Amino acid sequence: MGRSTTVQNLAAGGGGAGGLTPILMIALLFGVMYFMMIRPQQKRRREAEQMQSALGVGDEVVTIGGLYGTVTGVEDETVLIEVAPGVQTRYARPAIARVVKRVEAPEAETISEEAESVKE
C-alpha cells in the first residue's frame, strides 16, 4: 500500500510547472483575442464616430442601407439627406456608413477677396 500511495502522489502532483501551464495558456489566449479582435473593433468604432461627428452640409454620403445622398442639414442626433432633387430624408447619425466626397469649406481669404472685387 505504501508504494501505490507514493505513485499516486507523484502522478497527482506532477510538479509545480504542470499547474501553471493551463493558466498561462488561458492568459495568452485572452491576450491574443484582445489584440486581434477587441482593439481593432474599438479603433473602427472611434473612426466611425469621428466621421459621423464631422459631417457637414454638402458632403456626399452613403447610409448603412446603401442609399447615396447629399447632406443638406445637420442637427445633434440626425442628418437631413437629399436623395433626389427635392426629396429629403432624415437619418440618425450612426446610420451614415461613410462619406463619399467631402465638401471643403471655402477659405476666409477667398471670400474677402471676392467681396472686395464686387465693391470695386
What is the domain count for the chain?
2
Average pLDDT over residues 25-51: 92
Which grid cell sits at 79? 442628418
- Asked if 77 and 41 sit in the same domain, the reply is no
* Structure confidence at residue 115 (pLDDT): 47
Q: Is the sign of the CA dihedral 80, 64, 100, 75 positive or negative?
A: positive
Say if pTM beats, i.e. exceeds, 0.75.
no
Share of residues in the chain with pLDDT > 90 (%): 52
- Tell me the per-residue pLDDT of 41-92, one tens digit each, with 9 for 90 and over: 999 999 988 988 888 899 999 999 999 999 999 998 999 999 999 999 999 9
Which grid cell sits at 118? 464686387
Residue 16 above 80 pLDDT?
no
- 6 within some domain: yes
Structural domain range at position 65 = 56-103
pLDDT band at 105; cut points 50, 70, 90: low
Report d(CA 49, CA 51) in Å as an integer. Answer: 5
- E-strand ranges in the chain read 60-63, 68-74, 78-84, 87-92, 96-101
Average pLDDT over residues 10-38: 80
- Asked if 93 and 72 sit in the same domain, the reply is yes
Determine contact, residues 20/39, Cβ cutoff 8 Å. Answer: no
The CATH number assigned to the domain holding 77 equals 2.30.30
Average pLDDT over residues 15-34: 85
Tell me the HSE value of 28 on the side-chain side, using a 13 A CA sphere: 6
In terms of phi and psi (left: phi > 0; alpha: psi -120 to 50; beta: otherwise), the region of 86 is left
* Structure confidence at residue 116 (pLDDT): 52
* Structure confidence at residue 29 (pLDDT): 94
Determine contact, residues 63/51, Cβ cutoff 8 Å. Answer: no
